[in-house]
Structure 1
Amino acid sequence: MCECNHPVVTVQALQRMPYYIQQLRILKEKKVETVSAPKIAELLNLNEVQVRKDFAAVCREKGKPKTGFLVTELLNNMEEFLGYHNVNEAVIIGTGSLARAIIADDSFQNFGLKIVAAFDTSPNQGDTEVCGVKILSSDKISNLCRRMQIHIGIITVPAGQAQIVCDQLVAGGILAIWNFASVHLSVPEHILVQNENLTASLAVLSNYLKKTLQ
């Protein structure tokens, strides 16, 4: 197995790596043993130089001429680099349609994410669990996260409630927050917030269509 490196990589490179992993898994299932950076670039419609740089950030050993990289080794190196071999337990706050879709999506476990609990302001007024994940009262967020040493919190509540539950997560020792609420969260410097603002993405699409259809 090639020796892995841990250089500083850009956010854009990190965001491309799950696509590489998905493609490498497909190749592995098809019993393909080797693949080159140009081939991956072609399959994903990416810049070849960009792909080579991304691969170099994962493994010090260069691909062999004409054959490229061993698919299994490159896949393992990339999954290890991103921490996918470590199961990261998470909690989700909110039990609406978006939260239920995230909980029901088994594919997240392939990327090292396991949701162990869901929280709602009124858990006793509806279902007690979603796809086997128990729904608990939101006043238990901090205690459970601290007790179970949970480091990832997923926020899917309305914008007006997001900062409140964010503070509860931080108080419980959360280190990373996946935020689907359309609001900026205030957190300490050591907390990472990854925002998924659906309305912002919609604004980009809407503006593109406006310009294109004029």
Structure 2
Amino acid sequence: MADAQPKKDRPNARFHGRVEAPGRLCAEPGCSEAGEFRAPPLQGTGRPGDGPPPFRWLCLDHVRAFNSGYNFFKGMSPDEIHDAQSPLAGWERETRAFNTTGGADRPPRWADFSDPLDAISARFRDKMKDRAERKDGKPLSGKDREAMRTLALEIDTDRTGLRQRYSELVRRYHPDRNGGDRGHEAKLQEVIAAYQHLRSSPAFA
């Protein structure tokens, strides 16, 4: 049987709440151990101005002693203790009323934005273009819209326009039209796949 692991002088460095800082000693008078555990100051947790509260740093033994003797209700009157123990404690503050006009906060007006480079407007137009519907009422699936973007087709393109655009792109990317250059084959395959999908789509029936 393997020998038991030797007991460490100090607890694991991952001990909950431990914050190591070389050279920082325990704040308990006369203690020479490292101060690695935060505790409230003796005079309370009041904040000096806008700064953080001046916490004390204690060693493990002294923070355990502090925790064992900690009394949340110390210094409170019976009425304050009763209020603190109420299930509704902390809920007495008035909350913000819900918006009854539209179910959400009113968005800023479009005129409130400055868009000299047309960045916001262009993005909005592209988004609306992807959601546009055909005038003939024929439905478009997500794959239909993706294929139409591949072929750079307008939303209301009909079957004749689809064939014309397909022929144009095939001539543009086919190696025979580019002196045998096969550098556009990947794009050509995308065009063929998009056309094959759209020609069987209800929108182009």
- TM above 0.5: no
- Shorter-chain TM-score bucket reads under 0.3
- Which of 1 and 2 has greater Rg? 2
Q: Say which structure is richer in strand.
A: 1
Structure with more relative contact order (C-alpha pairs < 8 Å, separation 6 or more): 1
Q: Say which structure is richer in helix.
A: 1
